[in-house]
Each structure stands twice: as structure tokens, then as C-alpha cells.
């Protein structure tokens, strides 16, 4: 991966709204700053392994996080490696505050997202980017579009 320590290079308004931070406070920092002082536990190692391995291109993680104002929340993070010419150029991540989600709503969301990902895969494939569409991906549809349209 290009940058050491995977700093944020961009953030959308929803990320700022969920975390309470301003864009200029987070760009250039690794998202670890959102984790509680005692750390995120075993998920942190899983995230590191995902980012620095040749393994899957997409993964999901449930991470304890803390907003700028100190309130805790449970963050469902989807990460998708954007791979070009066999190398990870960027990692697109989407987060969802699932602190109040129910098991039923999470299951329904997963089913709908999986269906959308499969549909997009059928439309966008083939491309010069690695695109995988299976239930474990659970990546947002933006990642699939970015893999096809990323031009640098």
C-alpha cells in the first residue's frame, strides 16, 4: 500500500457527522484515533492482517469507537481494497453506527446489500480491477464503482 500507516485521505460528510470531527482534524491520521484508550481488542489485529495481506479484497469489522465528544459507539466498518495491476492503491472504507441496530435489521441490510453487490458485479465485470462478489464482501457499492472508474 502506498502510504505508511494507512492515513485518511478523504472523508465524507456522514463520517464527520458520525464521529463529530471536522475534516481538517482527521485527514492524514489513521482511524485508530477513534478507538477507546484501552484499544479495540482483537479486531485491531484482524484489520491489520486484512490491510497488509494478499488475502481477501473485502472485509467487515465491528469496532468499538469513541466520538470527539467522548460518547462511545459500535462501528460496523466495511473495507474494500482498490487493486490495480495487482497492487492495493487505496482502501475504501464505509462505516455504520450500529449501536442501536437489531439483529433483524442487520440481517435484512446484509441481504439487500449482498443482492446489490451481486447485481453491480454483473453489470461492471469485466474490468481491469479485481472485483469479487460474494456474501462475505458486504462492501458498499461505491467500492465496486471505484474499482472500475478509478483513473490515476
Residue range 40-67: mean pLDDT, rounded: 90
Q: Is pLDDT of 143 > 70?
A: no
pLDDT of residue 104: 64
Helix 103-124 to helix 141-149 angle (10° resolution) is 20
Grid cell listed for 70: 467522548
State the distance between the two ends of the chain, measured CA to CA, in whole angstroms.
15
Taking the C-alpha atoms of residue 143 and residue 92, their distance in angstroms, rounded to an integer, is 6
Helix (H, G, I), strand (E, B) or coil at 120: helix
Handedness of CA 135, 141, 143, 148 (dihedral sign): positive
Cα 81 from chain centroid? 9
Q: Which three cell numbers stand for residue 117?
A: 453487490
What domains does the chain contain, in order, with CATH numbers? 13-149 (3.30.450.20)
- Rounded to two decimals, the pTM is 0.67
Query: Whole-angstrom Cα distance, residue 148 to residue 130?
Result: 9
Residues 26-41: tens digit of each pLDDT: 999 999 999 999 989 8
Q: Which three cell numbers stand for residue 131?
A: 472485483
pLDDT, tens digit (0-9, with 9 covering 90-100), for 81-138: 888 788 888 888 888 888 876 666 666 656 665 666 556 555 555 444 443 333 334 4
Q: How far apart are CA 106 and CA 99, in angstroms?
A: 11
Q: What would the DSSP string read from start to end of 121-144? A: HHHH-S-SB----STTT---HHHH
Amino acid at each position: 500500500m502506498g502510504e505508511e500507516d494507512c492515513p485518511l485521505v478523504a472523508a465524507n460528510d456522514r463520517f464527520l457527522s458520525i464521529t463529530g470531527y471536522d475534516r481538517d482534524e482527521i485527514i492524514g491520521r489513521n482511524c485508530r484515533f477513534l478507538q477507546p484508550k484501552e484499544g479495540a481488542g482483537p479486531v485491531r489485529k484482524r484489520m491489520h492482517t486484512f490491510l497488509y495481506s494478499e488475502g481477501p479484497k473485502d472485509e467487515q469489522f465491528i469496532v468499538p469507537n469513541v466520538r470527539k465528544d467522548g460518547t462511545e459507539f459500535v462501528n460496523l466498518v466495511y473495507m474494500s481494497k482498490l487493486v490495480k495491476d495487482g497492487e492495493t492503491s487505496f482502501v475504501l472504507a464505509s462505516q455504520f453506527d450500529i449501536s442501536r441496530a437489531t439483529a433483524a435489521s442487520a440481517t435484512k441490510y446484509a441481504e439487500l446489500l449482498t443482492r446489490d453487490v451481486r447485481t453491480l458485479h454483473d453489470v461492471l465485470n469485466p474490468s481491469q480491477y479485481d472485483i469479487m462478489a460474494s456474501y462475505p464482501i458486504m462492501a458498499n457499492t461505491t467500492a465496486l464503482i471505484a474499482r472500475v472508474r478509478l483513473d490515476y
